[in-house]
């Protein structure tokens, strides 16, 4: 099942700019111990953003690994595969729903438009805080509510947490990242 709604969008040169068909919710995985894991698969667009610039089809996978390693929120990357020039990354599904699903789902739960706007405001505030933390760590990305998964406490009508997704445009400031890792190491040891 597609995660995002919409049609494939191309830029002025005919290159795929947005492909909602590239990200799919996959069946639940079960490991040998019987533990279930909800996962999402993403077909990599190798001519998009930092993936193209780096020449690494698994650039986004590595960014998610890095973000998890330094304790910032991101889906956990699970697997990567390449076959016949196509590339796929599989990641743990972040809890919550997308910006696109939010309004209709919340209305289904009886939320009024003003309550939905309050949640969007809360999400924006949390997003601004995360942006500062990521910038401090040297992980530079554009921050849009459409690139966030929202975990909402339905009864309390508040955002529990947000999880950024779509890492292919992310850039790394190596100097800031080294300093951030050094501070993390000093504070934990």
DSSP alpha helix (H) spans, the chain = 49-54, 59-69, 99-108, 113-137, 174-188
Predicted TM-score (pTM) of the model is 0.84
Mean pLDDT within 120-132: 95
Write down the domain spans for the chain.
9-92, 97-184
Nearest-angstrom CA–CA distance, 68 and 139? 12
pLDDT digits (tens, 9 = 90+) for 34-73: 999 999 999 888 877 778 888 899 999 999 999 999 999 9
Is 93 within 8 Å of 40 (Cβ atoms)? yes
pLDDT digits (tens, 9 = 90+) for 96-110: 888 767 678 888 888
- Looking at the DSSP bridge assignments, the partners of residue 152 are 159
Q: How high is the pLDDT of residue 98? A: 81
Q: How confident is the model at residue 77 (pLDDT cuts 50, 70, 90)?
A: very high
127-163 burial, b if ≥16 CB within 10 A, otherwise e? beebbeebeebbbebeeeeebbbbebeeeebebebbb
Name the strand (E) or helix (H) holding 24.
Answer: strand 23-25
Of all residues in the chain, the percent with pLDDT exceeding 90 is 58
- Among the listed residues 146, 147, 145, the one whose alpha carbon sits nearest the alpha carbon of residue 170: 147
- Among the listed residues 143, 134, 137, the one whose alpha carbon sits nearest the alpha carbon of residue 166: 143
CATH code of the region 9-92:
3.30.200
SS3 content of the chain, % helix, strand, coil (to 5): 40, 25, 35
Examine the pLDDT at 158 and tell me if it is beyond 70: yes
Which tokens is 180 given?
């951030």
């Amino acid at each position: 099942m597609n995660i995002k709604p919409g049609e494939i969008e191309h830029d002025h040169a005919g290159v795929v700019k947005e492909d909602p068909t590239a990200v799919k919710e996959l069946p639940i995985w079960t490991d040998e111990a019987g533990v279930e894991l909800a996962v999402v698969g993403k077909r990599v667009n190798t001519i998009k953003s930092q993936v193209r610039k780096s020449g690494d089809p698994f650039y986004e996978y590595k960014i998610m690994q890095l973000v998890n390693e330094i304790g910032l929120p991101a889906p956990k990357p699970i697997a990567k595969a390449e076959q016949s020039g196509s590339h796929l990354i599989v990641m743990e599904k972040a809890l919550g729903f997308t910006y696109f699903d939010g309004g209709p789902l919340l209305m289904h739960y009886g939320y009024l438009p003003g309550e939905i706007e309050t949640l969007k405001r809360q999400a924006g505030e949390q997003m601004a805080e995360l942006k500062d933390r990521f910038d401090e760590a040297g992980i530079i990305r554009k921050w849009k509510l459409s690139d966030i998964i929202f975990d909402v406490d339905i009864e309390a009508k508040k955002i529990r947490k947000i999880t950024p997704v779509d890492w292919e445009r992310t850039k790394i400031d190596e100097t800031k990242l080294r300093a951030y890792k050094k501070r993390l190491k000093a504070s934990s040891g």
